[in-house]
A and B are shown apart, each in its own frame.
Chain A
Amino acid sequence: MDLDFNNDLEKRISDAFCVFDHHGDKLIDVREVGTVLRLLGCVPTEQEVNEVISATETEETSGVVHLTKFLPHVSQLLMERKMEPAAPEKILEAFKILDFENKGYLTKDSFGKLMMEEGEPFTQEEMDEMWPVAIDPISGHIPYELYLNQLMVYL
């Protein structure tokens, strides 16, 4: 390692970064920046990811990010506790907002449409991966409180 790490935080960032560094040259594809941030426990919006990309992308070759730029920028963000994960209550609140009729669950159609069209929409692929976990096989609906609990296990 030619970079010196002052603290544990920097080592963590570097480790996460290096998982996506395929050639050992401390460069990652910009498309991986979001994943690296999330790996570090952040929960950024797509817009926030894009902001990090534009702040850290190398000028000479577009499409890659070097660790030397990434490290200080992201260290700063983490120390300022930006993009932190939400408390479960907040997420439940968000679901409740989408549940206009207060049914306690969301239908596949309405939720699917929402996710694919609102906010920062999902791709078909992301949608396909979400369904098996989110849908209750018996009712065909999304009991969001349960879904929330399931996914929270990994946070």
Chain B
Amino acid sequence: MLCSCGCLQKAGGGGKRRSSSSVEDASSSRMSELESNSRPQTTEAASTRTSSLLQLFHRKGPKCFRKPQRPKSPMQAEKTIRAAIFIQKWYRQHQARQEMRKRCNWQIFQNLEYASEQDQAELYKFFHELIKHMPQAAGTGNKSPTSTCTALLEESEALMEEVGDIVSTKVEIPIMKSHIDLLIDVFRKKRSNRLHPKYVVLILREAAKSLKEMPNLSMVSTAVSQQVTVCGDLHGKLDDLLVVLCKNGLPSTSNPYVFNGDFVDRGKKGLEVLLLLLSLYLAFPNAVFLNRGNHEDSVMNARYGFSREVERKYPRNYKRLLRLIDEVYRWLPLGSIINNRVLIVHGGFSDNTDLDLIKSIDRSKYVSILRPPLTEGQPLDKAEWQQIFDIMWSDPQSVPGCIPNTLRGAGVWFGPDTTEKFLERHRLSYMIRSHECKPNGHEFTHDNKVITIFSASNYYALGSNKGAYIRLNNQLVPRFVQYISAASQAKKLTFKQRVGIVESAALKELAVKMREYRDELETEFKKYDPDDKGYITISKWCYVMEKVTKLGLPWRLLREKLAPGTDSKSVNYFRTLDLLDTDVILEAEADGTSVMDALYANKTSLETIFNIIDADKSGEITLDEFEKAIDLLDAHMPGDTSKSEMLEKCRMMDLNGDGKVDLNEFLEAFRLSDIHRKQQQEADIRKRSTTRSSINQPPSDSVTKLANIISKNTLIIEQDIDPMDCESKIIEPTK
């Protein structure tokens, strides 16, 4: 940049210290307006040593200044510079605080997401343990063999009529582009426009039948098309899918797509996304490749919202639809390989991953990845099960090594050395995976050999992150298109307001999670406040929060928000508890699904547990068999019951008194104990609210104010999806 006095100077700020990654990594992203972002690589003014020295050098001599507005003495010029630096450093301080809020929010969301994924993975580990200790439980899983599932595909039993509006759109086989246009038009409307359930069944059934013919790893070639597009997680964000299709065109032989899993859960339009993807697959075979993700799994769907979504949209037929969806899931390919050079799987791989093995297994055994596979009497192959897990659940790590992924609870963390060995062994150039949300929608790691692609923008909240997709040319050089959907909503806001919105969403989720531990928190806080004043030290507050919630968050930084209005010396923990009891949090809690809800809703899992305990496959559990399983149940379901109580439970399950428990009695027992627990919870809440009013302390102003802010910021206004309403940017390859 030439300054007006004619000397060359480096443009303000930024140069990167590291040359490794060719795109920004997650740690230095900014949320400024995309279109004015002329420097995709710079960060918050972190000048390099050289550039800042260079500037100071240029600044020293008055000759290099731009023409001053009026003649200044050197002293005056000096004062000006110092004043400028003063203001700049103080402004940067202010910006850093905003940056901090953003990071904190991100940490909150990620921690919460992984913590609840851990819960799900617990189920997998529980089964693993059960099976390990009950060797005779060889043929586990559902008793229903594969054949009945095929029958499911053929059955044409009458569907129940749904109440409410159903659109008149018809879908027929073969599905054509015209149907796609119709579907997009129907699905993008804000009113949950529903297809007639028979068309949903049609799409699911045809898709499952077709997917059955696909190999475990789809072989994709760019010989004809000269390019291919890869999309990552969509998580029910139909608006993002439509942005991609709008910007990149519908699939065709010259425009093939790979969708890398996680089509559903969390977002509100999971069913529409799934149906649209399956329709695209049926309409443009050989141009659409679908990979299974860890959320293409009924156990995950029960917990993360998709099952509920289907139930809400089709209350009379959801069970049938969910069973059909299971059929689709089990036949989804596990990954894709492009030109025999680039592997695309949802999670990653481990030291043990063997693609030849993966190609040869019967993937349809894994109806849910979190439950033991169907084996039809054959011994269960745990190593094979582990292989599936590794490709669906693993994450890359920056340090060498390959260790169990304790954050997710399943899969591994694989280091750059694992990547190198794997790529070499299978003669691949690099790999693409998804599974992790990134602020910029994508990230390079492991010396550019592993690309993460994430296509759901605004994933955690409006403005939380961009989404992206990759276009690979014939040489398989990647080019990224980054975008945010519903951009007009974000554009109206200032940077600070946007941070505020994400922050409110984060706090809300965190508060809901904290509610699970509300009583425990209160007990622990009170331990450090014997006089019941309501105040404890900051250290103790942070300690309790971390200990009880088991979340590794920067509690010190969150203190201001979670105990609003308290000073810098101590914390008024009453405020923390009061925040949890505000309407906005209670409503959010009611809206979500708890782990136990999910477990109960997932009867198949309970059935599986039953089948495992029923060692001799008699269809009934004897006290003897049950006793053997109790130790394991005790270890994995936090024991508030003793062994004798458990045995007693078994006896109680025996409703007809014949000394044995059959499947129905078993399920009934869980339902009853679930009801009992809910009643307990409600009684607790009632007890708490009466105690509060007896102390006569309404929540403080600062708590109410914060609750109102959260409520206002997280109000979502539904609109018709307009795929043109997006901000996007192309990132050219720099490799």
Contacts and interface: CB of A to CB of B under 8 A. Distances in A.
Interface of A: 8, 11-12, 15-16, 18-20, 22-25, 28-35, 38-39, 42-47, 49-50, 53-54, 62-63, 85-86, 90-91, 93-95, 97-98, 100, 110, 113-126, 128-130, 132-133, 151, 154-155
A20 B104 CA distance: 9
Contact of B89 (A22, A45, A63): A45
A39 B97 contact: yes
Interface string B496-515: 10000000000000000000
B33 A128 contact: yes
A126 B44 contact: yes
Contact of B103 (A20, A91, A124): A20
Given A46-B45, A97-B79, A23 B107 contact: no
B100 A19 contact: yes
B95 interface: yes
A122 B36 CA distance: 15
A100 B70 CA distance: 9
Nearest to A45: B89
B47 A120 contact: yes
Contacts of B66: 113, 117
Contacts of B713: none
B429 interface: no
Nearest to A122: B12
Closest 3 CB pairs of A and B: A38-B96, A121-B12, A119-B84
A30 B46 contact: yes
B538 interface: yes
Given A8-B538, A22-B27, A98-B83, A30 B90 contact: no
B494 A94 contact: no
A32 to B, nearest CB: 6
B80 interface: yes
Contact of A124 (B3, B25, B36): B36
Given A31-B27, A123-B45, A130-B91, 5 more contacts: A35-B96, A94-B82, A128-B32, A128-B33, A129-B95
A63 B17 contact: yes
Contacts of B160: none
A115 to B, nearest CB: 7
13 contacts: A16-B100, A22-B27, A33-B46, A34-B44, A34-B46, A63-B18, A97-B83, A120-B47, A122-B13, A125-B32, A125-B37, A125-B39, A126-B95
A86 B90 contact: yes
B81 interface: yes
Nearest to B4: A117
A30 B556 contact: no
Contacts of A38: 92-93, 96-97
B59 interface: yes
B425 interface: no
A35 B89 contact: no
B548 interface: no
Contact of A120 (B52, B70, B93, B495): B52
Nearest to A41: B93
A128 B32 CA distance: 8
A11 B44 CA distance: 25
Interface in B42-63: 42-49, 52, 55-56, 59
Contacts of A122: 12-13, 45, 88, 91
Contacts of B103: 19-20
Given A31-B27, A124-B36, A15 B556 contact: yes
Contacts of B542: 11
Contact of B32 (A31, A50, A53, A129): A129
B535 interface: no
A42 B93 CA distance: 8
A120 B657 CA distance: 83
Contacts of B167: none
Contacts of B26: 22
Contacts of B38: 124
B596 interface: no
Given A8-B539, A151-B94, A118 B42 contact: no
A90 B89 CA distance: 13
A154 B88 contact: no
Nearest to B495: A129
Nearest to B48: A50
B28 interface: yes
A15 B490 CA distance: 30
A123 B94 contact: no
A123 B42 contact: yes
Contact of A121 (B13, B69, B538): B13
Given A45-B85, A120-B55, A35 B100 contact: yes
B399 interface: yes
Contact of A32 (B28, B88, B95, B104): B28
